[in-house]
């Protein structure tokens, strides 16, 4: 287990999450993609902490990533509820009001 | 050696189950696959001596996946364990973008001359984290806390079906309030 191998796994996780976030039509599935991406960031940050600078400040950064994950989830569920209430569906294709 | 094997198994499980999230044909299976991916990453963090963050990741994500399952049942309007589903758009473009992203990130991970480790971990990393949060790094938690509160308020405002602004107007001066059924004591 080296920094490079952990980062490789994190890169694979990030790419899979990115695929989901781009390709999925259901809001909850898009959120799943985003979650996988943040999960990859968490793993990569943990590896950076352990292999480069095992200082307590690095662990605090991991907690911030976890907090960001929580905020994303809570706000995402609220938006999904709003979209479902107004459009009767939870598809991203039905919420393109801000599309350029 | 044992540590290496454990990490590779966990990494493989994490990536494979993340792929399964977008491959399986039911929402329930996708949720279980995502939960498995999170558990694998949480255990990998434990291998990196992140005992607190690893355990928190596992516990938090298992609960989050349970909530997600409830949302799917609510919004998908079907039996999530039985109904096959494939709802994707721009599949080829998404595959191309994610593959290119992996190549770039993997190249960065393998080609960057990473510096040597600086410092040694504290004997008890969890205690060191607690002391950092209560000491030099307290500003981080001071910032995160109001963000969490703001998220709660945002969630309630967005998810609420009818708030006081819907009942009393933007200036809260509509009288009587716009209610679907007249209530109260006849005022």
Q: State ipTM.
A: 0.88
Among A76, A27, A96, residue whose Cα is nearest residue B158 = A76
Strand, helix or coil for residue A19: helix
Do residue B128 and residue A79 have CB atoms under 8 angstroms apart? no
Q: What pLDDT is recorded for position A59?
A: 87
Chain A contact present for B165, CB below 8 A:
no
* DSSP 8-state assignment for residue A88: S
Tell me how far apart the alpha carbons of residues A52 and B45 are, in angstroms, rounded to a whole number. Answer: 15
Of the pLDDT bands very low, low, confident and very high (cuts 50, 70, 90), residue A31 is confident
pLDDT: which is higher, A91 or A75: A75
Of the pLDDT bands very low, low, confident and very high (cuts 50, 70, 90), residue A100 is low
Whether A22 contacts B97, CB under 8 Å: yes
In this structure, CATH architecture of domain A3-89: Orthogonal Bundle (1.10)
Q: Which residue has the tokens 């696959």?
A: B33
Predicted model pTM: 0.86
From the list B11, B50, B89, which residue is nearest A59 (CB)? B50
Crossing angle for the helix pair A27-51 and A3-23, nearest 10 degrees? Answer: 170
For an interface test with B, give the residue of A5, A29, A90 to mutate (most B CBs within 10 A): A29
Q: Which residue has the tokens 């405002």?
A: B157
Residues B57-113 pLDDT 10s: 899 888 888 887 777 777 765 555 555 666 777 888 889 999 999 999 999 999 999
pLDDT for A47 beyond 60: yes
Chain B contact present for A87, CB below 8 A:
no
DSSP H or E run through B146: helix B138-159
Among B114, B43, B154, B137, residue whose Cα is nearest residue A56 = B137
With beta carbons under 8 A apart, name residues in chain B contacting A18.
94, 97-98, 101
Of the pLDDT bands very low, low, confident and very high (cuts 50, 70, 90), residue A27 is confident
- Beta-carbon contacts of A87 under 8 Å, excluding residues fewer than 6 positions away, are A94, A95
Q: What pLDDT is recorded for position B84?
A: 60
pLDDT: which is higher, A29 or B25: A29
Chain A contact present for B121, CB below 8 A:
yes
């Amino acid at each position: 287990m080296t920094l490079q191998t952990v980062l490789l796994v994190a890169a694979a996780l990030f790419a899979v999450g990115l695929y989901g976030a781009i390709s999925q039509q259901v809001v909850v599935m898009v959120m799943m993609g985003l979650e996988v991406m943040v999960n990859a960031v968490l793993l990569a940050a943990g590896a950076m902490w352990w292999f480069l600078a095992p200082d307590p400040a690095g662990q605090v950064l991991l907690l911030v990533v976890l907090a960001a994950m929580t905020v994303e989830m809570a706000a995402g569920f609220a938006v999904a509820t709003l979209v479902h209430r107004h459009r009767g569906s939870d598809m991203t294709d039905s919420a393109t009001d801000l599309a350029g | 050696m044992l540590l290496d094997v454990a990490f590779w198994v966990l990494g493989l499980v994490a990536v494979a189950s993340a792929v399964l999230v977008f491959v399986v044909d039911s929402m329930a299976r996708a949720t279980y696959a995502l939960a498995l991916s999170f558990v694998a990453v949480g255990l990998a963090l434990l291998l990196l001596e992140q005992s607190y963050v690893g355990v928190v990741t596992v516990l938090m994500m298992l609960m989050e996946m349970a909530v997600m399952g409830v949302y799917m049942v609510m919004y998908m309007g079907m039996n999530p364990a039985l109904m096959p589903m494939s709802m994707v758009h721009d599949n080829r473009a998404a595959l191309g973008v994610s593959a290119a992203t992996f190549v770039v990130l993997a190249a960065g991970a393998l080609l960057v001359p990473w510096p040597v480790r600086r410092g040694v971990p504290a004997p008890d990393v969890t205690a060191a984290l607690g002391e950092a949060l209560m000491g030099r790094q307290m500003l981080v938690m001071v910032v995160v806390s109001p963000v969490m509160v703001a998220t709660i308020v945002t969630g309630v405002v967005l998810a609420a079906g009818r708030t006081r602004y819907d009942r009393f107007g933007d200036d809260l001066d509509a009288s009587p309030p716009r209610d679907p059924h007249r209530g109260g004591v006849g005022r």
